[in-house]
Amino acid sequence: MQNNISMPVSIYALGGLGEVGKNMYCIENEQTLIIIDAGVRFPGIELPGIDYVIPDFTHLKNNRNKVKALFITHGHEDHIGGIPFLIQNINIPVIYAPRLAAALIKSKLEDNKLQERVRIVEYDENSIVNVDTFKVSFIRVTHSIPDSFGICVDTTEGRIVSTGDFKIDLTPIGPDIELTKFARLGEEGVDLLLSDSTNSENEGYTPSEKTVLSSIEEIFSLTPGRLIISTFSSNIARIQQICEVAVRNNRKIAIIGRSMEKAIQIARSFGYIKIPDDSIIQPQDIKLYKSYELVVLCTGSQGEPGAALSRIANGEHKDLSIMPGDTVVFSSSAIPGNQLMIERVENSLTRCGADVITNSVLSDIHSSGHPAKQELRLLLKLVNPKYFMPVHGEYRMLRIHAELAQSLGLDSNNTFVLENGDTLVLSKHKIRMGYKVEAGNAYIDGHDISGLAQSVINDRKVLNEEGMLSVAIAVDTKTNELILPPTFYVKGLINQGSPKIIEECRILVEKSIRELLKGKTNFAELKQTIKVIASDFLYSKTQKRPMVIPVIMSKVE
């Protein structure tokens, strides 16, 4: 460490603030930039046709020579899903990741033929990594996936601790959270704490993962027919419990969904999931077994249109169709913004005759991997930071977490509820607000790494919510005559705008065009007139502004 040289350190998020997902946090000084996590956010119905939302990497591209390493806290998609897009945009010299996350990342890169692009190094709770003047160490935490860690970064200007995703589970599935290490760091002095805010609205403690086991066992005992359980493919602890109960109940396990298959395959190879080989069957063999002999594990608990459960609900899956007597269990909680998609799938399943079970006070079939208020209070007490920046949550979650810290005695001037791109500057153990870096969203449609512009997203929203009107006319450019009256093509308007309204609009547009053609005009003016007249008239009649697309054909001698 070059302790005699003062190099102020900037801390900021490119994703993860004001949202659940898309986590990406950066620590940067004059010569070095390290990244913590590179996640995606899964879009809801408000983003039609979009597969992923990832951070805007512009700032990283502009500082590509300073980027030295990417550190991963755990293997969930909102922390690793953006890696294929990131490494195609800038050179990441090395990725440091815990064991399971490293395997999931390698698999993801192989799927995208990117495995040669980056070196992956595994770490554990005893590892120390030096990146120029930054010393990085790790704290094991409890979460809904094995091998989850918080990260401590010691710099010349002070110490930064990020919890990663965690909860304080005293009866965990797997190793305990290293509370003593958090306490030791606190005793030594922590300048800035970044802490998970996802469950900051909930009082008390998040239930232990083991509390879900009795509910799973009860569901198995009360279900005479086929049992279809959907959960996050990366919720390894939950999947292990479901499989244990299935084996005890002599049910064969069919796994549907590519991400579920891959996650279980990797977790089994590491011993995190233990299933006898003869308990697993291929999806195409489902029809060979009686209903009470089966349990199906599948993806799609968030209602994603292309996921396995949605295809099953819509009758589009080649190996499994819903039958009366089937029981479908959603063993997860809704990610903010996904409730409408989930309800749509639930309704489709119910129409097909399935009994649908979701998490409620009557059936505890899901336990969050994130801390409630008492766990947040305990962590804050142990770490005792001078400054605090809540992360990983929507704005209200961040605000509640900041107020929670203040209720424990932290000065309100030392708590920072920020937006993506806002920076904190750490210098000689003191923090101030800094400049703003470029931050935003990139929208991924398929595997195009360039992403879609916001203007394209806005157009899709208009088409989805307001509809479209195409107006075609033909003009003789020599005589300035309208030789083909306006022809309307309408999509997406309520009742197609009703024939009477559309005809009134067509007459109004035609009249305006003929008036323009009496004098000097051009195609640009004609198109603008069509847009304004049609849009304003339809809004006055339907309260909708469809996208208006003028098409002008010309006759030239």
Burial class (CB in 10 A: 0-12, 13-18, 19+), 66: middle
Tokens of 461: 């929203």
Amino acid identity at 207? P
Contact (Cβ atoms closer than 8 angstroms) between residue 431 and residue 423: no
3-class SS string, 77-130 = HHHHCCHHHHHHHCCCCEEEECHHHHHHHHHHHHHCCCCCCCEEEECCCCCEEE
Could you say which DSSP state residue 452 is in?
Answer: B
Q: Is 472 exposed, middle or buried (0-12, 13-18, 19+ CB in 10 A)?
A: middle
User: In the annotation, is 196 catalytic?
Assistant: yes
- CA distances to 117, 455, 480, 511, 549 from 475, rounded to whole Å, are 55, 30, 7, 14, 16
Are 359 and 333 in contact by the 8 Å Cβ rule? The answer is yes
10 Å Cβ neighbour count for 234?
A: 26
Retrieve residue 195's tokens: 């802490």
Catalytic entry in 37, 56, 154, 196: 196
DSSP 260-287: HHHHHHHHHHTTSS---GGGEE-GGGGG
429 assigned to active site: no
Tell me the DSSP string of 171-227.
S-SSSPP-HHHHHHHHHH--SEEEEE-TTTTS-S-PPPTTHHHHHHHHHHHH--S-E
Is 130:138 a contact under the CB 8 Å cutoff?
A: no
**Angle at Cα 311 formed by Cα 307 and Cα 315, nearest 5°?**
175
Burial of 524 (0-12, 13-18, 19+ CB in 10 A): exposed
As a whole number of angstroms, the distance between CA 523 and CA 525 comes to 5
- Compute the distance between CA of residue 382 and CA of residue 398 in angstroms, rounded to an integer: 20
Question: Taking a C-beta distance cutoff of 8 angstroms, is the pair 83, 15 a contact?
Answer: no
Measure the CA–CA gap between 468 and 496, rounded to whole angstroms: 10
CA dist., res. 34 & res. 68, Å (int): 6
Q: Residues 6 or more apart from 152 whose CB is under 8 A from it?
A: 136, 137, 138, 139, 159, 160, 161, 162, 185
Structure letter (DSSP) for residue 345 = H
Catalytic residue among 370, 392, 401, 422: 370
Burial code (b: 16+ CB inside 10 Å, e: under 16) for 269-297 equals: eeebbebeeeebbebeebeeeeeeebbbb
Positions marked active-site: 196, 370
